[in-house]
Amino acid sequence: MGKPAVPIVSGRFKDDAIASSKAFGMPDLQFVIVPRIYRNLADELCISQTEDVMDNLISVLTSNEDPYKNEQKENDFLFFEGEGKYESFLKMNKHFTDEDWSDALPVYPPTKEAVQKLLKGTSLKSSDIVCDMPPGFGVATVEKIAINAALAGAKPEHMPVIIAAVKCLSEMGPHGGKSLLMSTSPHAPLLVVNGPIAKKIGLNSGSALGPGKENEINVIVGRAFYLCLKNIGMWYPNKMDMDTIGTTRKFVHCVAENEQMSPWDSYAEDRGFSKEKSAVSIFITDGELDVQDQGNTSAEDLLKTIAYGITFGIMGVGNNRAGGHERLIFMPPDVAMPVGKEGFSKKDVREFIYSHANHSVGKMTQYIPLEDARVDEKWHYLKNLSESEKLEKEIPLLHSPDNIDIVVIGADRAKTLVFPSGPSSATVGIDQYI
């Protein structure tokens, strides 16, 4: 616009401002720091902390100096020496943790030999560019993906899945879910694999979330993807990942759908892939809830339990429709099979859950003042209602049955796992990377 301007950066967002300005094409951006975040700050504190930096604002507007310039040297290779391989291994891990290149758990040395071995798991060349990876849009070459896969202890046969997952994230919405990945809320990606490759490499589709021998491959693939997201996509905590509290879901989960025990087509088939083709889908999740059913056996009763369960959490009344307005349902076979036997298609299930998932509009709007400028006009009528009237009025939780995704997964027992999610998932074929 041709107007001099200075961003005001709140508290701990200094490192994020430096990283983001470099990633998004403004490496010389200058800014002023205030101690507190404005969003939930009382008016008088907003004014006082801004007045306190007024001289700094004027100085930055009238100066070309960059007080936050931080030159970082890059080396092609790092070397670690000690009294034996074990000490060298410990030194490498300490360095990787100190630089925040790992997940703070021990990583495998990404030696030249280890990377070359992984590259044999794909027909692509090491220099081939897969995509630019959000949120920082680093260039994801096959070699860079292999380096991070090596850190996670991946094997060559895992590479096509990891490459496809990296590509898949870049296709989520217009910016690969960038704004949610950089949010102060605990958004995290979750990978679902369909097709023959899931069984071939040993992905678990039963009790598939969490640690243990049965989930070894799930953990390795999810971890490799996370390290790519971190070191290629620049998803570094307190730089471009600004969670207030965080979540264990950021130890990214990878699961296979339990296709053998599903009464319906797989999720990938719903997205246009044949049963003979392998694919990976990515969902951006924001929380989770175990929805327990304690004895129902009929389809409608089982689905009513889920419909009530998905109403946890708040829904937006603002202008932002980027995410949080969907639900991902991990439905175990002990729910899916009896529901399917009664003739419910997956479309029928979505419509039934949507029609029964209603919530008090008063409770859904408590998290944001109705006077806030971000509140959509269609909700302004609520200002004229009393508190009791708002609490008594119920509306559908979601905008459409299409906001519900269903994946059959899990072991025996009618306990469904539900995630708030959004933006809409993306699905990418895996076979092209074998």
Q: Are 397 and 358 in contact (CB under 8 A)?
A: yes
| pLDDT per residue rounded down to tens, the chain (434 residues) | 888 888 999 878 888 888 888 888 888 888 899 999 888 889 999 999 999 999 999 998 888 776 666 555 566 789 999 999 999 999 999 999 999 999 999 999 999 999 999 999 999 999 999 999 999 999 999 999 999 999 999 999 999 999 999 999 999 887 777 888 888 889 999 999 999 999 999 999 999 999 999 999 999 999 999 999 999 999 999 888 989 899 999 999 999 999 999 999 999 999 999 999 999 999 999 999 999 999 999 999 999 999 999 987 655 555 444 334 899 999 999 999 999 999 999 999 999 999 999 888 888 777 788 888 888 888 888 889 998 988 888 888 888 999 999 999 998 889 999 999 988 899 999 999 99
**Is 210 among the domain residues?**
no
**Is 23 among the domain residues?**
yes
**Is 46 among the domain residues?**
yes
Nearest C-alpha neighbor of 287 from the set 314, 254, 308: 314
Give the H/E segment covering residue 284: strand 279-285
Residue 322's pLDDT is what? 36
**177: which residues sit within 8 A by CB, 6+ positions away?**
134, 135, 169, 187, 189, 284, 323, 423
**Is 50 among the domain residues?**
yes
Q: Are 240 and 16 in contact (CB under 8 A)?
A: yes
Measured over the CA atoms of residue 23, residue 26, residue 32 and residue 38, the dihedral's sign is negative
Q: How many domains does the chain have?
A: 1
- The Cα 296–Cα 282 span in angstroms is 31
Helices (H), 316-372: 333-341, 346-356, 361-364
Q: Which two structure tokens, joined as six digits, stand for 431? A: 């076979």
**Is 433 among the domain residues?**
no
**Is 346 among the domain residues?**
no
**Is 21 among the domain residues?**
yes
Give the H/E segment covering residue 51: helix 43-51
Residue 321's pLDDT is what? 42
Residue 20 domain boundaries: 8-61
Residue 28's pLDDT is what? 84
Q: Are 32 and 8 in contact (CB under 8 A)?
A: yes
Give the H/E segment covering residue 139: strand 138-141
**Is 217 among the domain residues?**
no
